[in-house]
């Protein structure tokens, strides 16, 4: 059985997701010692700008004709509205070259071998439901359920799946939900305008569980640890990371937070890019 990681990276006018993916791949190889492949719609950009990348294979997909945008924050005082390309994740079953695949967002920074334990077991599908906000005092209701009264929220940021008939059915269902998003967002009373993989995965898991509290999805070890896009990554040295997290109700003011040996979802992609480029994300 082959095992490897797959990272999706499709640039927009403001964020170089390929740059983030190159960094994420180096961390995955360092701490998990597995091959890493890239899914992108611009292989030429990778080859011209990051010729020393560590990807074992590069899978190029056609740019989607579907366009949606969202607000990207860079700390609590700066933001821009830009294109958001997140339509390809549902195709991961057909795209992956591995029998067991760890799927990573390009802004997920690995600092530990924690996910190795998950790669070594036989569960068909592992994903995070529990999460932890490094800001501590923010309202995290949106990450508990897809709306206040609906089904549990699952993070499509990181997950592991085996290539078999059950998971083929799951991703076929995710694709169906995506193609009929207006219907499903209405059915599940989702107020967000844009399509999100987190929501589609959460709905699909609910359906695969027979619309009950089933055991289709197994929890990944630990929790999804994250900072929001209103926070900053300051730097990352070895397995230590330093952040400035927004003070609740005090916009423009931040609290210093340090982590050691924790994998972190860095939602502020501008800050992560600045760190990769110049050594400081602020």
Q: pLDDT band for position 279 (50/70/90)?
A: confident
- Quickly tell me which residue has 């961390």 as its tokens: 27
What pLDDT digit, counting tens, does each position of 77-121 carry?
888 888 878 889 999 999 999 999 999 999 999 999 999 999 999
pLDDT-wise least confident of 91-100, 118-127, 253-262, 272-281: 272-281
More confident: 16 or 192: 16
| Number of C-beta neighbours around residue 8 at 10 A | 24
**Superfamily for 3-68+83-227?**
Spore Coat Polysaccharide Biosynthesis Protein SpsA; Chain A (3.90.550.10)
Q: What is the pLDDT of residue 211?
A: 87
Q: State the CB neighbour count (10 A cutoff) for residue 252.
A: 9
pLDDT tens for each residue of 187-235: 999 988 889 999 999 999 999 999 888 899 999 999 999 999 999 999 9
Q: What pLDDT is attached to residue 25?
A: 97
The predicted model gives 122-147 an average pLDDT of 92
Q: What is the mean pLDDT of residues 138-145?
A: 88
Q: Reduce the secondary structure of the chain to three states and give it as a string.
A: CCEEEEEEECCCCCCCHHHHHHHHHHHHHHHHCCCEEEEECCHHHHHHHCCCCCCCEEEECCCCCCCEEEEEECCCCCEEEEEECCCCHHHHHHHCCCCEEEEEECCEECCCCHHHHHHCCCCCEEEECCEEECCCCCCCHHHCECCCCCCECCEEEEEEEECCHHHHHHHHHHHHHHHCHHHHHHHCCCCCCCCCHHHHHHHHHHHHCCCCCCCCCEECCCCEEEECCCCEEEEEECCEEEEEEEECCEEEEEEEEEEECCCEEECCHHHHHHHHHHCCCC
The pLDDT assigned to 82 comes to 82
Placement of tokens 């890019």 in the chain:
273
User: What is the percent of the chain where pLDDT is above 70?
Assistant: 99
Nearest to 86 by CA among 183, 177, 195, 170: 195
Question: Lowest mean pLDDT: which of 35-39, 41-45, 60-64?
Answer: 60-64
The mean per-residue pLDDT over the stretch 27-45 comes to 96
pLDDT, one tens digit per residue, over 147-196 is 888 899 999 999 999 999 999 999 999 999 999 999 999 999 998 888 99
**Domain spans of the chain, in order of start:** 3-68+83-227
Residue 60 sits at φ, ψ, to 5 deg, of -95, 130
Beta bridge partners of 40: 9, 60
Distance, CA of 280 to CA of 232 (rounded, Å):
10
Q: State the pLDDT at residue 281.
A: 63
Whether the predicted pLDDT of 131 surpasses 70: yes
The whole-angstrom separation of Cα 260 and Cα 238 is 9
End-to-end CA separation in angstroms for the chain:
42
pLDDT at 86: 83
Which pLDDT value is given to residue 65? 63
Residue with tokens 């005092």: 137
| pLDDT at residue 252, rounded to an integer | 83
Instruction: Tell me the pLDDT of the chain averaged across its residues.
Output: 93
Ranked by mean pLDDT, which of 44-53, 66-75, 186-195 comes out on top? 44-53
- Residue 280 in this model has a pLDDT that exceeds 80: no
């Amino acid at each position: 059985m082959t095992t490897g990681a797959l990272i999706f990276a499709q640039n927009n006018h403001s964020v170089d997701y390929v740059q983030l993916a190159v960094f994420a791949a180096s961390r995955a190889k360092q701490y998990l010692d597995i091959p890493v492949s890239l899914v992108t719609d611009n292989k030429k950009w990778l080859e011209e700008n990051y010729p020393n990348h560590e990807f074992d294979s590069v899978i190029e997909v056609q740019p989607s004709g579907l366009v949606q945008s969202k607000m990207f924050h860079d700390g609590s005082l700066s933001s821009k509205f830009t294109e958001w390309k997140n339509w390809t994740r549902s195709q991961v079953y057909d795209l992956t070259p591995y029998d067991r695949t760890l799927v990573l967002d390009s802004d997920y920074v690995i600092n530990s071998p924690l996910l190795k334990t998950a790669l070594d077991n036989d569960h068909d599908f592992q994903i995070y439901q529990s999460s932890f906000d490094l800001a501590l005092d923010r309202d995290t209701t949106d990450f508990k359920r897809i709306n206040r009264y609906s089904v549990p929220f699952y993070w499509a940021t990181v997950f592991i799946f085996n290539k078999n008939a059950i998971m083929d059915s799951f991703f076929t269902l995710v694709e169906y939900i995506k193609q009929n998003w207006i219907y499903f967002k209405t059915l599940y009373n989702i107020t967000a305008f844009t399509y999100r993989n987190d929501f589609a995965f959460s709905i699909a898991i609910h359906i695969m569980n027979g619309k009950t509290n089933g055991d289709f999805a197994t929890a990944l070890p630990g929790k999804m640890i994250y900072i929001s896009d209103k926070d900053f990554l300051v730097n990352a040295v070895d397995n230590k990371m330093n952040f400035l997290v927004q003070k609740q109700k005090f916009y423009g003011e931040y609290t210093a937070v340090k982590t050691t040996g924790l994998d972190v979802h860095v939602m502020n992609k501008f800050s992560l890019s600045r760190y990769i480029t110049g050594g400081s994300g602020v």
